Structure formats: structure tokens, C-alpha cells
């Protein structure tokens, strides 16, 4: 199987609040909530990078679609990483996220691998790492 990740879906309890966090707080572009005319269809999509989108979908809709019981959140089951081009950008992104309503989990700090990183929970409790890793710079970082 060739690995091909094209959509990352986060289950949310409050779709409007989650959209506001990513759209208004972080400035990520979206067409907003679509699919409201369908049962369990309300969803919002965000373009992350070429070929990859983020979807915010109610947890109840995700449970209904999969046939699984809706389970309690587990904030250490998954961490999303936002890699940036500099140490300063780590601090800037963490400040932007907390201003938008995120909870700072761990302030930015020097890492064991020679980088600099910190963590926040979005308004729905999803764990995000903001990292500058000199070995894994984003493709658009100035060399």
C-alpha cells in the first residue's frame, strides 16, 4: 500500500466554535460549514498544504457514520504537529493559538533533538505541537 494521507478529520463537540478557532483565531481559510442539509453532514474543510485538508466534523456524526459508540476524549492518543521555520515562529504560533482560545499545555522549550517546541489544546481538546526542528524544516522555509 502506498501511504497517501489526504484528509485529517477531527471530531468536535461544538462545530461552530471549532470553525471559529481555526478560521478566525488562526486565520486558516475555509468555506465554512457545509452539508447542513444532510443528516450528520455538517462539516468544515480547511486547506492545509497541497493534497492535504483538515475536516472538522461533529463527534456524533463521526460515530454515526462509523457505527462506533461515541467515546470520551483522550487527549494523549494523538498529537498533531505544526512545524515552523524558526524558534521565533514557535512562540508566535503559540501566542496566536492561546489568543484564539487554545489552552497552553507546555510552553516552548529546547528539545532533546536540538529543536524548540511547545504544546496547546485547541478549543475541542485536540493536542497540537508547534515545533521548530532543524532536521525537519517545512518545504517553504527559507534555506
Neighbours of 91 (CB within 10 A): 17
Of 81, 79, 85, nearest to 139 (Cα)?
Answer: 85
**What is the Cα–Cα distance from 129 to 114, expressed in whole angstroms?**
15
Q: Taking the model in full, what pTM does it have?
A: 0.92
Q: What is the pLDDT of residues 72-125, one digit of tens each?
A: 888 888 999 999 999 999 999 999 999 999 999 999 999 999 999 999 999 999
- Whose cell is 478529520? That residue is 9
Domains annotated on the chain, with CATH: 7-66 (3.10.180.10), 79-132 (3.10.180.10)
Per-residue pLDDT at 12 exceeds 70: yes
- Whose cell is 475541542? That residue is 124
Mean pLDDT of 39-55: 96
**What is the Cα–Cα distance from 143 to 135, expressed in whole angstroms?**
12
What does each C-alpha distance from 33 to 23, 90, 97, 121, 137 come to in angstroms? Answer: 11, 29, 21, 22, 32
Most distant CA pair in the chain, distance:
49
Mean pLDDT of 49-57: 95
What was the pLDDT predicted at 142?
60
What was the pLDDT predicted at 138?
81
Burial 16-48 (b: 16+ CB within 10 A, else e): eebbebbbebbeeebeebeeeeeeeebbbbbee
Amino acid at each position: 500500500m502506498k501511504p497517501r494521507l489526504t484528509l485529517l478529520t477531527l471530531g468536535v463537540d461544538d462545530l461552530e466554535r471549532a470553525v471559529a478557532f481555526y478560521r478566525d483565531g488562526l486565520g486558516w481559510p475555509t468555506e465554512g460549514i457545509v452539508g447542513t442539509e444532510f443528516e450528520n453532514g455538517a462539516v468544515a474543510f480547511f486547506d492545509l498544504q497541497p493534497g492535504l485538508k483538515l475536516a472538522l466534523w461533529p463527534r456524533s456524526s463521526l460515530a454515526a457514520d462509523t457505527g462506533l459508540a461515541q467515546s470520551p476524549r483522550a487527549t494523549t492518543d494523538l498529537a498533531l504537529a505544526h512545524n515552523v521555520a524558526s524558534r521565533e515562529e514557535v512562540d508566535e504560533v503559540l501566542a496566536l493559538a492561546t489568543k484564539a482560545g487554545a489552552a497552553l499545555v507546555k510552553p516552548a522549550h529546547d528539545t532533546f533533538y536540538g529543536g524548540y517546541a511547545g504544546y496547546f489544546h485547541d478549543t475541542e481538546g485536540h493536542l497540537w505541537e508547534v515545533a521548530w526542528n532543524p532536521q525537519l524544516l517545512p518545504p517553504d522555509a527559507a534555506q
